[in-house]
Amino acid sequence: MNKEILVIDDNPDIRSLVSSILQDQNFEVRTAANYDQAIFEINRKLPDLAIIDIKLDKADRDGIDLLKLITKKDKLTPVIMISGHATVQIAVEATRLGAYEFIEKPFSKEKILNYVKRALESLNLKKEKDIIENKLFHSFDLIGNSPSIIKVKKIIDKLSTSESRVLIKGPTGTGKELVARKIHKTSGRNKEPFIIINAALLKENTYEKELFGEEFEDGKISFGALERANKGTLLIDEVSEIPFETQANVLRVLIDQKFKRLNGSKDISVNIRLISSTSKDLEVLVQNNKFREDLFHRLNVMPIELTPLNSRTEDIPLLIDYFKEKLSEINGVQQPKIDIKNDNLYTYDWPGNVRELRNLVERITILSANESKGNINNIIEDILNPSSSFINNKDLLEKTFSAPLKEARKHFEKEYLTKQLKKNHGNISKTADFIGMERSALHRKLKELGIKGIN
């Protein structure tokens, strides 16, 4: 099926010119001559790509407002903005709000076609990536027959008919986001948005903007997570990281079901289900006056506890079999012959929990094509016991065995993380993924150990 492009411009000559150029390349073209027509066409059906003139017929509404409407409906839809008299500031603003490209009039046929083709190629790549990620994560199930997992599954079933707020507790990598997604998918809100905001990754001065959105002097609006999650579910991941001052505003939203955007004067009403997750003990933070007690009680209506993997090792064989099948299908390779009786799998501490086990199975799946169980056991040994490669490091051994436990661990961690960073050419994301840590947690660990950028 040919791609459909919506051309929005109040100049009939420009509309006709751009439409002809695109139709000659076998694109399906719809047009809109003014702001109201554009709103009608966008709401009727989103195109595969939109070309929008900045200046339209309305004094208080322009192409930027249409850009925001399209990206709110589907952030993947590419938008090319065009203008004959725009400033650099407008171009920057359009790009910041999600425009794929900004083109000044007059433009050549080659230029517009080049940008259109690149934008559609980019769209295809993003969609393919989303499909892979959906297969990789969103379709994953909650696997295990241990008492703790059976209890969690029963709670999720009961929550399917409830609108209660949920607080999911558990160490990094235990599946808090997966549980939140399962709650959303089994709820009456499953056709509505599921929005995630990771409080641990936000800069200190951006929390309120990310949650509540912002209004600008020129009338433009940046929508926050609360507004984007309206009628659906909002997951606040690592809720403990929200600043104390901002917590009061979150509490007010839970009480009133409305809020004001930053710099805004109008109340925005929302109907959301809030799920929070944390790897920290919020009750301890409450006792230390680092988390509001009233907010804690509002969030903790239905608590769910996820236990670390090393406390439910009976689930490891089930998880390995499950991940083998899923990851082999995704990577298009044969399932590896993993020996589920390998002692290393049960004596290892699994600091990254289920995420780390999944990463291990994926690495084995990719690395072990046509390998025997014995060779795969060696791969597992190398991955789970990286310290074995340090045995001949006399200096490290001397420092480690002559120091107290806490200091010895620090020596080891510094050496291990330095080697992993070098192996990944200083790439934090790849290193975090390999060792089974959150990127933010790895950043904190590197800072704590005094490890700087590695080339």
Domain boundaries 140-307, corresponding CATH code: 3.40.50.300
Q: How far is residue 350's CA from residue 430's CA, in Å, rounded to a whole number?
A: 18
Architecture of the domain delimited by 310-384: Orthogonal Bundle (1.10)
Phi and psi at residue 277, in whole multiples of 5°?
Answer: -135, 155
Q: What is the pLDDT of residue 78?
A: 93
Question: What does the domain layout of the chain look like in residue ranges?
Answer: 4-133, 140-307, 310-384, 389-449
pTM of the model: 0.59
Asked whether the predicted pLDDT for residue 402 surpasses 50, the reply is yes
Q: Under CATH, which number does the domain 389-449 receive? A: 1.10.10
- The number of beta carbons lying within 10 Å of the beta carbon of residue 160 is 13
pLDDT level of residue 399 (50, 70, 90 thresholds)? low
Contacts for 104-107: CB closer than 8 Å, 24+ residues apart: 105/14, 107/82
d(CA 92, CA 54): 13
Q: Give the three-state DSSP class for 64.
A: helix
**67-99 b/e (C-beta count within 10 Å ≥ 16 → b):** bbebbeeeeebbbbbbbeebeeebbebbeebbb
Residue keyed to tokens 């480690």: 400
Q: Same fold for the domain at 4-133 and the one at 140-307?
A: yes
Q: Are strands 221-222 and 214-215 parallel, antiparallel or unpaired?
A: antiparallel
pLDDT digits (tens, 9 = 90+) for 364-391: 887 776 666 667 887 788 778 755 444 4
Better-predicted residue by pLDDT, 450 or 283: 283
pLDDT at 131: 58
Specify the fold of 4-133: Rossmann fold (3.40.50)
Q: How much is the pLDDT for 300? A: 96
For the cut 70, the answer to whether the pLDDT of residue 454 exceeds it is: no
Which tens digits make up the pLDDT trace of 298-345? Answer: 999 999 999 999 999 999 999 999 999 888 877 778 888 888 888 889
Contact 208, 249 (CB under 8 A): yes
Closest CA to 354 of 175, 183, 179, 181: 175
- Are the beta carbons of 53 and 86 closer than 8 angstroms? no
The predicted pLDDT at position 27 comes to 94
